[in-house]
Amino acid sequence: MKTQLVHLSSRLWALIRLLSTDDAYERYLAHRARHHAAEPLLDRRAFYLCEQEHKWNGVKRCC
Amino acid sequence: MAKILWWAVAILGAFALGGIALHRGETINAMWIVVAAVCIYALGYRFYSAWIAAKVLSVDPARTTPAIRLNNGRDFVPTHRWIVFGHHFAAIAGPGPLIGPTLAAQFGYLPGTLWILAGGVLGGCVQDMTILFLSTRRNGRSLGQIAREELGPVGGYAAMLGTLVIMIILIAVLGLVVVNAMRHSPWATATVFSTIPIAILVGLYLRNIRPGRVLEGSLIGVVLLLLAVVGGGVVDSHPQVRAMFDYAGEPLAWFVIVYGFIAAVLPVWLLLAPRDYLSTFLKLGTILLLAIAVIVMRPELKMPAVTQFIDGTGPIFGGAVFPFVFITIACGAVSGFHALIASGTTPKLISSEADIRLVGYGSMMLESGVALMAIIAATLLEPGVYFAINSGPGVVGATAEAAVATISSWGFPVTVELMQSLAREMGETTLFARTGGAPSLAVGMASIFSSAFGQGLLALWYHFAIMFEAVFILTTLDAGTRVGRFMLQDLFGHFSPSLGRTSWYPSVLLSSALIVAGWGYFLYIGVVDPNGGINILWPLFGISNQLLAGIALCIATGIIIKQGKLRYAWVTAVPLAWLAIVTTTATWQKVVSTDPRVGFLAAADQLATKLASGVLPPAQADVAPQLIFNQRLDAGLALLLTGLLWVVIADTLRVSWRVRQGLPVPPSSETPAIAMAQVRT
């Protein structure tokens, strides 16, 4: 019961992080490691700034 | 067994809908609307959207999506369907579905409710899902690009021009809503002002202190925002500090204009991005809270099902229930703006075509539900109070006594004392003539929240609701100005390559200034207009939003016909025809009606006559020439927008006719099918 609850809450936490893009950098690292292991990486801050610039380049919010 | 269950849902839905439509008592419980809505959405999703996906669109889960094929870990990322749903819903749900239904409540609760339900299930959800599907099949291309490739350049340019105009009108009207909520309200003004340094603080935190820790930053920001609501109350209680935040409409309009310009040229990480995180959390939290409160409280709606104002004499905006309820409620029923999102970020995240139904149809259903909550919050107020808050001084009279006399004479009794005590409870000096929908929605929300979660906190709930609306209105304002800026820079790029560079500072300043001047003009006129401004701007916004929906549905219909599925074309053609009828009738009335409360030109002429004969008080005479010019400009703009729609309809008919005749048409721009099995190695 307790382990189930822990499991459930950790999944919920992972979902919240995913939805809010809190884990974007970790996902970026994983993606790079899988597909472009040899190439240089952005640090956390450079990645965040780059993501924001990219995100707000178009119609992103509605009426 | 499942069949029996669905029949039960259908019968329950029909029963609840019948109850709403035929009920003619004093009040009706909001649960009737909730039950009818849940049943109708369930049926629409289970049967209509499934049928469209299978038969009309031929959704193929075995086919790869651009997210799988072009996965680059950035724009193209295969994402779990519920996550895409969350992102898509957060993107489409702005302040529109809260404001439109609040204004349309002047017709009673019934017309708006029926349109939100029918328009949503048969129109808006279908549009969103279809455009999302078409864009997913075309590597996530934008609406304008799809129009150009499938119909020809005419449709493409019309979509682009329509987008630019809608953006300008939208920002102006939203700016006006915020100004009206802050006008002579130190509490609201102090709270809304403080959201700016709070957003900047979160921006700095997310960049310098703990880069990218979105949840931490947002949590800090939300706590600070809640403190700002309380702090606004402290400001309000100190006479000297209070005076520093007590402004009339015009300086507030200038504040919003200058703010909009600065926000558009600042780096996004500093203000726009952190504000958006905060507004998304607030939005989801508040909507959830409102839904829970409505279900817990089961409030009685005090507004009649249908008021006498369906004949066009309404105080909030002029015009009969047809066509104006369909213009006033755009977001929440059919919103063309969604087609831009559905052909933007979302299609690049879809990991299987099977998810399109949930993301496209499902998100719009939820937004339609938000619109219903807004209508419930507006109609649970005493009708007299609702009209006193939402009617401009030019309509009901400039003094409190005159306003209550006018409103009571309509059969909606209200007294000065009642309004004063309500204002006191909400922590305001007055609630009269707070047009724009946000304050009356805030009063409605505050009454539900305080009765569900604790009496006596009315003033806090009211200003929380105002802050919540202002935060995401300002997000739309920032984001919209930036989009307009990019569009202008794109256009300038055709003439001068350096002006087309989005990061070249002179070009950034010039294009941002032009966009801000565009909406700033309409905002300023709206603020000085004694009739409240909303009555002019909101219909114009509705027309432009429905125009964009019309263009999107044209593209969808044209493509369905090109694919040889003429017999299914009605799925998008019927909502298209309805929107064409509605927008054309509305434009016609707005232009040629001889009633100055409806017709732009009639209003301009009436004001010109008054000005010439010298009966206007000096303050009004000063702004009259601007108002006269503006009404004529609005008439021209409405004609231009509807003209654009008909050009695109004609273009769609031309392409469809050529298909029937077997003549050459632009080839399908769909990317060739690649099976999932071929990609997954």
User: What confidence tens digit (pLDDT) does each residue in B15-47 have?
Assistant: 999 888 888 777 899 999 999 999 999 999 999
Please tell me the distance from the alpha carbon of residue B256 to that of residue B580, in angstroms, as a whole number: 34
- Select the residue of A22, A47, A60 nearest B479 (Cβ to Cβ): A60
Residue A36 pLDDT: 84
With 0-12 / 13-18 / 19 or more C-beta atoms within 10 angstroms meaning exposed / middle / buried, residue B493 is middle
Q: Which fold has domain B2-184+247-661?
A: Amino acid/polyamine transporter I (1.20.1740)
B204 touches chain A (CB under 8 A): no
- Chain B residues closer than 8 Å to A21 by CB: 214
CA-wise closest residue to B373 among B299, B314, B454: B299
**Which of B481, B396, B473, B414 lies closest to B438, judged by CA?**
B473
Partner B, chain A 3-62, Cβ-Cβ below 8 Å: 15-22, 24-25, 27-28, 31-32, 35, 44-45, 47-49, 51-62
Q: Do B214 and A21 touch (CB under 8 A)?
A: yes
Give yes or no for B212 touching A (CB within 8 A). Answer: yes
So where are chain A's domains? 23-57
Tokens in use for B506?
Answer: 């002179």
With bands split at pLDDT 50, 70 and 90, how would you rate the model's confidence at B680? low
Q: Does B101 touch chain A (CB under 8 A)?
A: no
Residues 6+ apart with CB under 8 A from B398: none
Q: What digits encode the pLDDT tens for the residues B160-173?
A: 888 888 889 989 99
pTM score, two decimals?
0.94
Q: Do A62 and B340 touch (CB under 8 A)?
A: yes
Q: Which residues pair with B301 in a beta bridge?
A: B28
Measured between beta carbons, the chain B residues lying within 8 angstroms of A55 are 268, 273
Polymer length of chain B: 681
Interface contact B480-A47, CB threshold 8 A: no
Q: Please list, in sequence order, all residues whose beta carbon lies within 8 angstroms of the beta carbon of residue B411, skipping any fewer than 6 positions away.
A: B308
Cβ contacts of A33 on chain B, cutoff 8 Å: none
Shortest CA distance from A19: residue in chain B: B83
Q: What is the mean pLDDT of chain B?
A: 92
Q: What is the pLDDT of residue B679?
A: 67
The residue to which tokens 């038969």 are assigned = B55
d(CA B287, CA B301): 19
Q: Cβ distance B393 to B433 under 8 Å? A: yes
Residue % of chain B over a pLDDT of 70: 99
* Domain segments of chain B as ranges: 2-184+247-661
What does the buried/exposed string (b/e) look like for B246-278 if buried means 16 or more CB atoms within 10 Å of the residue's CB? bbebeebbbbbbebbbebbbeebbbbbbbbbbb
User: Which pLDDT tens digit goes with each residue over B181-240?
Assistant: 899 999 999 999 999 999 999 999 999 999 999 999 999 999 999 999 999 999 999 999
| pLDDT (average), residues B390-398 | 87
Three-state SS letters, B609-660: HHHHHCCCCHHHHHHHHHHHHHHHHHHHHHHHHHHHHHHHHHHHHHHHHHHH
pLDDT tens digits, A1-46:
788 999 999 999 998 898 888 998 998 898 888 888 888 889 999 9
Is some CB atom of chain A closer than 8 A to the CB atom of B59?
no
* 3-class state of residue B360 by DSSP: helix
3-state class of A41 per DSSP? coil
Q: What are phi and psi of A57, to 5 degrees?
A: -105, 60
Alpha helices (runs of H) in B494-599, residue ranges in sequence order: 497-500, 505-528, 534-562, 570-592
- Considering only the beta carbons, identify the residue of B82, B96, B273 that sits closest to A63: B96
Encoded amino acid at B93, one letter: A
CB contact under 8 A, A53 and B482: no
